[in-house]
């Protein structure tokens, strides 16, 4: 099997010649766009001979129309315009996808990162940061969550409108990504940020889930749409019916385990590697054992071996990553 056939077999519930494997991390800030971004992705794929490429997106949502580039109050929420999905940093990501498509079309699947509307809104209530890394689990007291709690109390209608504006803009961006050559999207969602807010219990389903589904509808022509459940899900099952080809989550440190969902989770499984633990602190043999355990837990289900989120390249030895790749053959 070639790499596309191997991944597609898992997406269609068939056992491939071996488990596909991929992993990813945030490249340096200077590699967010342009030639440096292209070369970072090329080097990563060639170094580890992965079965599919997650195209990183650290260009983030364009902060067009905002005073000082930050959402501070209801007036700022009202200032957000619906975007076509090709402006500013959207355009930089589309250029990256187009160049990677020219380089690799027909060799393997490429999916581009898209953060959901709540994540985008959460990013924009604080100044921009070039620092991106693995998730923080169980974090409380983040000033961005305090800001969103305040906006939910003071301007719920304006906040709802802003989410709708972001959703429409992201839907346009997603359609442009597919047109640029992406095989689908790596759609990142996270419910613990919202559910932990004051009065936030149950709000994800009311306020954010409809937005998620609109964005996924824009990606419906994709051949490989992967839902990434970031952090520790408050309600993992709320995402089980999302219209995607596969689900990626942190089974090792956030749960649920692969074995506990293998008999009921309909999309393909994409999990098994501990990006915060074994990859960083284990030996190559530990990593091989963890990969073998993931395959064992999946049982009759085919599985894509992947970490629960990004890893920190400063703490993860390359030999651990090579060990995982050599495990599958």
Give the pLDDT confidence of 282-321 residue by residue, as tens digits.
999 999 999 999 999 999 999 999 999 999 999 999 999 9
Give the pLDDT confidence of 79-118 residue by residue, as tens digits.
999 999 999 999 999 999 999 999 999 999 999 999 999 9
Least confident of 173-182, 201-210, 273-282: 201-210
Distance (Å, whole) CA 168 – CA 184: 18
Give the pLDDT confidence of 122-169 residue by residue, as tens digits.
999 999 887 787 878 777 778 999 999 999 999 999 999 999 999 999
Task: Tell which residue, 49, 51, 55, 56, has the closest CA to residue 9.
Answer: 51
User: For residue 329, is pLDDT > 70?
Assistant: yes
User: For residue 278, is pLDDT > 90?
Assistant: yes
CB atoms within 10 A of CB 44: 20
pLDDT for res 201? 73
Task: Tell which residue, 81, 87, 83, 98, has the closest CA to residue 37.
Answer: 98
Q: Give the count of alpha carbons within 13 A of 186, CB side only.
A: 22
pLDDT for res 199? 67
User: For residue 28, is pLDDT > 70?
Assistant: yes
The pTM (predicted TM-score) of the whole model is: 0.96
pLDDT for res 197? 73
Find all residues with CB under 8 Å of 217, minimum gap 6, and list them. Answer: 171, 243
Tell me the sheet residues that pair with 54.
111
Distance (Å, whole) CA 6 – CA 10: 7
Exposed/middle/buried for residue 319 (C-beta within 10 Å: 0-12, 13-18, 19+) = exposed
Task: Tell which residue, 238, 253, 232, 241, has the closest CA to residue 207.
Answer: 238
pLDDT for res 86? 98
User: For residue 7, is pLDDT > 80?
Assistant: yes
User: For residue 194, is pLDDT > 90?
Assistant: no
**CA angle 306-316-253, nearest 5°?**
50
Three-state secondary-structure class, residue 32: coil
Give the pLDDT confidence of 38-84 residue by residue, as tens digits.
999 999 999 999 999 999 999 999 999 998 899 999 999 999 999 99
DSSP for residue 206: I
């Amino acid at each position: 099997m070639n790499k596309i056939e191997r991944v597609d077999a898992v997406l269609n519930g068939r056992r491939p010649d071996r488990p596909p494997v991929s992993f990813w991390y945030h490249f340096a800030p200077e590699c967010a766009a342009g030639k440096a971004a292209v070369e970072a992705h090329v080097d990563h794929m060639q170094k580890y001979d992965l079965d599919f490429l997650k195209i990183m997106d650290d260009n983030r949502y364009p902060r067009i129309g905002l005073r000082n580039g930050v959402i501070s109050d209801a007036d700022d929420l009202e200032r957000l315009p619906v975007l076509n999905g090709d402006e500013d940093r959207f355009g930089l990501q589309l250029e990256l996808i187009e160049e990677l498509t020219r380089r690799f079309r027909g060799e393997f699947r490429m999916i581009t990162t898209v953060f959901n509307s709540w994540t985008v809104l959460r990013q924009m209530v604080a100044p921009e940061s070039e620092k991106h890394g693995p998730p923080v689990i169980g974090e409380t007291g983040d000033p961005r969550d305090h800001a969103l709690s305040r906006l939910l109390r003071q301007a719920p209608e304006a906040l709802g409108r802003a989410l709708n504006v972001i959703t429409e803009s992201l839907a346009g961006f997603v359609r442009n990504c597919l047109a640029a050559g992406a095989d689908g999207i790596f759609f990142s969602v996270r419910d613990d940020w919202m559910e932990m807010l004051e009065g936030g219990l149950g709000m994800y389903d009311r306020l954010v889930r409809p937005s998620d589904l609109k964005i996924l509808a824009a990606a419906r022509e994709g051949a490989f749409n992967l839902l990434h459940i970031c952090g520790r899900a408050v309600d993992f099952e709320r995402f089980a019916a999302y219209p995607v080809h596969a689900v990626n989550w942190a089974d090792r440190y956030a749960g649920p385990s692969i074995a506990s969902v293998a008999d009921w989770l309909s999309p393909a499984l994409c999990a098994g590697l501990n990006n915060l633990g074994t990859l960083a602190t284990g030996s190559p043999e530990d990593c091989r054992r963890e990969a073998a355990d993931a395959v064992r837990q999946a049982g009759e289900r085919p599985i894509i071996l992947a970490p629960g989120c990004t890893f920190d390249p400063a703490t993860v030895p390359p030999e651990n990553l090579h060990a995982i790749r050599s495990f599958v053959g």
